[in-house]
Amino acid sequence: MTTTHVAPTVQKLADTAYRLRERMMTMAADKGEGYIAQGLGIADVLAVIYFRQLRFDPANPEWIGRDRFLMSTGHYSIALYAVLGELGILDDELLATYGLNGSELPMSTFDETPGVEITGGSLGHGLGQAVGMALGLRLDGGDQRIICELSDGELQEGSTWEAAMAAASFGVGNLTAVVDANGIQADGPMVLDMEPIAAKWRAFGWAVEEVDGNSIEQIVEAFDRLAVRPDDTPRVLIARTTPGTGVPTIVARDRAHFVRIGDAEWQNLIAELEENRG
Amino acid sequence: MAKLDDRAGGMGEIADIDGPYEVAPFGTELARLGEIDERIVGLSADMSKFSDIIPFRDRFPHRYFNAGMAEQDAVTMAAGLAKVGKVAFCATYAAFLTRRALDFIAVSCAHSKANVKILAGSPGLVNPYGATHQSLEDLVVLRSIPDITVIDPCDAVELRHVVRTAAETDGTFYIRNLRGKVPVVFDEDGFQFEIGKARLLRPGHDVAVIGTGFMTERALTAADAAAAQGVSAAVLHVPTIKPLDTEAICETASAVGRVVVVENGLRVGGLGSAVVETLHDAGIHVPVLRIGLGDRFHPCGSQAYNEARFGLDDAAITEAVISNRWEFA
């Protein structure tokens, strides 16, 4: 049986995003650290992608007919693990090992983890593989779609633009890129200005939508608009997200790329998440 | 004014073919395999003509993807195609693949054990354009990447067999591609290629020449010349650099007590180094002379010119096999 999404309500998706954030907080609290800010930021986007857009079977993550989600920013793995936990593909016991010595859930994704399509984290690898997958599935006459997540910092990798050129040139309309534009990279706020991001993608021949990536309503509507674009046009959703969304103390942090927080404080932050539940 | 004979030559064809040859063995074999196996797709990075993949492209245009001048994308697209069930043959120049797209070969392909077969054209010192196009370090670098098979075929016959084996075997392969008119050294009848197996082509008791790629043909020539002067040279052909046939190397070296390694690439870190490491680890203490390229960027020049200048030609190898010389000038 495949999961087909009978248009869950915005409220239902918001509830899902909340649970994803809860799961991430639990995973990070166990370690005292993690790429939690990005994870919290992209939770709404992932909720819409996995619980409204993608076609897959949680009981059979390898089902050949599935749509593919590629997380190119492998260091956001905590967010992907939260999704896979929510789907029952990864169990709670395994999730608790996130980032530990020898864990099957490394801090940067590894494609041997069930439900994880590619090894991410060496940035600039995702979109090219997404183009290859889109071409291969199209060659077989399948109607599967590829959604490939990228980040704004990752747009600094030249290989991403090589892939963007190829996608438009090969007319892979079964590919949607999602750029998590959260305005941070390892050295702090955007080291190189990547704006105007939307104009760059348009110039490369892509259909573009740009939304508040923490508004589920906007994300849903943007995917709907992209869905009716011509079949030979690759699509990109630029999602403006706020790192740490849901936990104001993390949002307020200057250095949110990698978050380290003392044991005691995590409980306060989890309480904050609950207080700010939408 | 330059004489016509001084021209450096064209796009990396093997020079000076006296004997039999085949044209475009890689592309011809890939087109043949494409008829049998629909999973096979081809890619290049604006090097279709110069990597001999044209026969496949012309036969299966819908299964062929040219990434343009974008090696990183060619490699990642190949990985993506592989991950949805294709067998992706990606053919362009070795220099661009291994220097520019190395991270993509390592992470997108090898780390995922993706069914990607990289056909690296103009390997070693073949290309006449100078340092930018010469791939002297590819074997050195690729040998260090886990979960990848690295093969340097000797001739057209072996290349065809390697391509077939790669198509039938899961995983990431790096194959040095011999393009254009490629010499035929081996007899097709009864020819066998097995991943990770070296072949003793000639027995001998004074010295063993261990060769890879088309340098093995020169090892055979050198062995003939040595025999004429009373030196009995064994020739061990090692097409698979990784996984390395350490057993055959140890056996051969132990039996003769003196080894010359010949390769079309850097002396540092390639097959010669692998042989030295292997023998050392096994406690086999025999002298090993490594014939390969020195630590420098090499100039523009025809294959024959550069090989004569830098000591890879028949005369240099023969001299090393016959003499007891153990260091380079």
Q: Give the range among A105-109, A254-258, B304-308 with minimum mean pLDDT.
A: A254-258
Sign of the CA dihedral running B109, B113, B119, B124 = positive
Q: Where are the alpha helices (DSSP H) in A49-142?
A: 77-86, 92-95, 126-139
Here the tokens at position A154 are 């990752």
d(CA B42, nearest CA chain A) in Å: 11
Task: Flag whether pLDDT at A6 surpasses 80.
Answer: no
Residue to substitute from A70, A123, A127, A139, interface B, most B β-carbons within 10 A: A139
Please give the pLDDT value at position A263.
76
In Å, the largest CA–CA distance within chain A is: 54
Same-domain status, B177 and B237: no
| Domain presence at residue B163 | yes
Task: Flag whether pLDDT at A155 surpasses 90.
Answer: yes
Please give the pLDDT value at position B323.
87
The helix/strand count (H/E) of chain A reads as 10, 9
For residue B266, the domain's CATH number is 3.40.50.920
Q: Give the model's confidence band at A230: pLDDT under 50 very low, under 70 low, under 90 confident, else very high.
A: confident
Q: Give the range among A23-32, A54-63, B26-35 with minimum mean pLDDT.
A: A23-32
Query: Distance (Å, rounded) from C-alpha A42 to C-alpha B25?
Result: 50
Query: Distance (Å, rounded) from C-alpha A70 to C-alpha A149?
Result: 6
For residue B150, the domain's CATH number is 3.40.50.970
Query: Distance (Å, rounded) from C-alpha B92 to C-alpha B49?
Result: 9
> What ranges do the domains of chain A cover?
10-275
3-state secondary structure (DSSP) of residue A257: coil
Which ipTM score applies to this complex?
0.95
Q: Is A132 an interface residue toward B (CB < 8 Å)? A: yes
**Chain B interface residues facing chain A, Cβ-Cβ under 8 Å?**
41, 62-63, 65, 67-68, 70, 72-73, 75-86, 88, 103-104, 107-108, 111-112
Name the packing angle between helices B271-281 and B246-256 (round to 10°): 80
Are A27 and A198 in contact by the 8 Å Cβ rule? The answer is: no
Q: Which residues of B touch A160 (CB under 8 A)?
A: none
- CATH number at A10-275: 3.40.50.970
Same-domain status, B134 and B260: no
Query: Distance (Å, rounded) from C-alpha A268 to C-alpha A276?
Result: 12
Same-domain status, B212 and B287: yes
Same-domain status, B243 and B286: yes
| Domain presence at residue B2 | no
Query: Distance (Å, rounded) from C-alpha A149 to C-alpha B173?
Result: 28
Q: What integer is the mean pLDDT of A177-195?
A: 94
Q: What integer is the mean pLDDT of A172-178?
A: 97
SS3 annotation, B187-202: CCCCCCCCCCCCEEEE
Task: Flag whether pLDDT at A3 surpasses 90.
Answer: no
Please give the pLDDT value at position A207.
97
Please give the pLDDT value at position B165.
98
Task: Flag whether pLDDT at A99 surpasses 80.
Answer: yes
Domain that holds residue B120: 21-183
Looking at per-residue pLDDT, the higher value among A230 and A224 belongs to A224
Task: Flag whether pLDDT at A2 surpasses 60.
Answer: no
Please give the pLDDT value at position A33.
76
Surface of A (35-74) touching B: CB under 8 A: 64, 68
A184-198 core/surface letters (b: 16 or more CB in 10 A; e: else)? bbeeeebeeebeebb
Q: Extract the runs of DSSP E, i.e. beta strands, from A1-62.
A: 33-34
pTM: 0.95
The residue out of B183, B209, B228 marking a domain boundary is B183
Please give the pLDDT value at position B329.
35
Those residues whose C-beta lies under 8 Å from the C-beta of residue A191, and which sit 6 or more positions away, are: A153, A156, A185
Looking at per-residue pLDDT, the higher value among A236 and A278 belongs to A236
The residue out of B126, B149, B183 marking a domain boundary is B183
3-state secondary structure (DSSP) of residue B267: coil
Q: What integer is the mean pLDDT of A183-207?
A: 95
Count of A-B CB contacts under 8 Å: 99
DSSP B102-161: HHIIIIIIGGGT--EEEEEESBBT--TT-TTT-BSSHHHHHTTSTTEEEE---SHHHHHH
Please give the pLDDT value at position A277.
86
Same-domain status, B162 and B88: yes
Q: Give the model's confidence band at A278: pLDDT under 50 very low, under 70 low, under 90 confident, else very high.
A: low
Same-domain status, B220 and B142: no
For residue A184, what is the DSSP state?
A: E
Ranges of residues in chain B with a pLDDT under 50 are 11, 327-329
Total number of domains constituting chain B: 2
Identify the CA nearest to B106 among candidates A125, A104, A73, A127.
A125
Task: Flag whether pLDDT at A1 surpasses 70.
Answer: no
| Domain presence at residue B319 | yes
Looking at per-residue pLDDT, the higher value among A268 and A86 belongs to A86
Give residue A257's identity as a one-letter amino acid code. Answer: H
Those residues whose C-beta lies under 8 Å from the C-beta of residue B57, and which sit 6 or more positions away, are: B42, B48, B64, B66
Same-domain status, B147 and B37: yes
Q: Give the model's confidence band at A31: pLDDT under 50 very low, under 70 low, under 90 confident, else very high.
A: confident
The residue out of B183, B207, B226 marking a domain boundary is B183
pLDDT digits (tens, 9 = 90+) for B263-318: 999 999 999 999 999 999 999 999 999 999 999 999 999 888 999 999 999 999 99
Q: Verify whether the Cβ–Cβ distance B81 to A169 is below 8 Å.
A: no
